[in-house]
Amino acid sequence: MRQFIKTSALFVAALLTFPLSLAAQTDGPVGTIIIAHGAGPDWNAQVEKIASLAETGGPIEISYLMGPAAETHRFQDAARRLADAGVSEIVVVPLLVSSNSGHYDQIRYLTGEIDTISETMQHHLHMAGITPADVDIPIHLGKAIDDSPDAARVLAERALELAESPADQALFIIGHGPNSAEDYAAWMENLRPVADTVMAATGFRDVKVGLVRDDAPAPVRAEAVKRIREIIELQYALTGEPVVVVPVLISTGSVSKEKIPADIAGLPVVYSGEALLPHPGLADWVEARVRENSSRSVAR
């Protein structure tokens, strides 16, 4: 009888403490990991700026997949810090142009959505010591930029800053782009509605979009650049005015400052190379991705 009472008392105590511990897990704020490709200090500083502007209702960590800061901003460490801070769940926001890429697959692997990735992508993670998170709270993965209206608004503003008379000028939106034909089609499927949104918001006479396919084999890239140059020449022939060229890139770096200027050299264009970051509109995008992927609403 005495043993029965003791066992019952332990059972009741467990029942009383279980809801309290469960509440401690579910009542915490939503944690966010902004994960980006990563590059040099100037490139990364623009990611950090957006992280400081985003208001998600909880703590925000930054992780990089590559570059000098990848080893000091590992995904598993960011997730552990958020878990130790008492968040109830983690939303991972991929600061990438497209969800159709090897880098997005890396993030899917890190968040547990897929079990394997290509040998090359796995090697990149291994070199920086990056592994999937080991935490006991839910992790939700959001989409990349894709067809985001927030990104379209940033591109519209970038374009208007360069235009003298949008109604008389054409706009070309130029991007990096993937290797494979399948991913190229998926990128363009998202970027065409972005171009339509930009045109409606700005009133440019004509808006086109194209990708230089920077990581593709040399002949593929050369053909992509040739096509873009031909379209810009046609836009100029239509309007008789310099064509505004705006890159759809995450941050400024060698692609925006060196490669694209070389690709469009000699054409009648207006180009400054300003990327999506560090425009505060990308902070709106981060907040939107957290709202979309959290199990509950968070502060706007």
- Print burial letters for 158-181: b (CB count within 10 Å at least 16), e (below 16): bbbebbeebeebbbbbbbbbbbee
Question: With DSSP H G I counted as helix, E B as strand and the rest as coil, what are the percentages for the chain, rounded to 5?
Answer: 50, 15, 35
Structure confidence at residue 26 as a pLDDT band (50, 70, 90): low
The span from the CA of 280 to the CA of 195, in Å, is: 20
CA 246 to chain centre: 18
170-184 pLDDT, tens digit each = 999 999 998 888 999
Q: What percent of the chain has pLDDT over 70?
A: 90
Q: What percent of the chain has pLDDT over 90?
A: 86
The span from the CA of 92 to the CA of 27, in Å, is: 19
Whether 267 has a pLDDT exceeding 60, the answer reads: yes
Structure confidence at residue 207 as a pLDDT band (50, 70, 90): very high
In the chain, where does DSSP find H-type helix?
2-26, 41-53, 75-84, 102-110, 119-128, 149-162, 181-202, 218-239, 254, 260-263, 281-293
What local confidence, expressed as pLDDT, does residue 16 receive? 44
**Dihedral class, residue 25 (left if φ above 0, else alpha if ψ from -120 to 50, else beta):** alpha
**Interaxial angle between packed helices 41-53 and 281-293, expressed in degrees from 0 to 180 and rounded to the nearest 10:** 60
- Burial of residue 23 (CB within 10 Å: 0-12, 13-18, 19+) is exposed
233-263 pLDDT, tens digit each = 999 999 999 999 999 999 999 999 999 999 9
What local confidence, expressed as pLDDT, does residue 242 receive? 98
Gyration radius (Cα) of the chain, Å? 23
Q: Shortest CA distance to 78 belongs to which of 122, 136, 31, 142?
A: 31
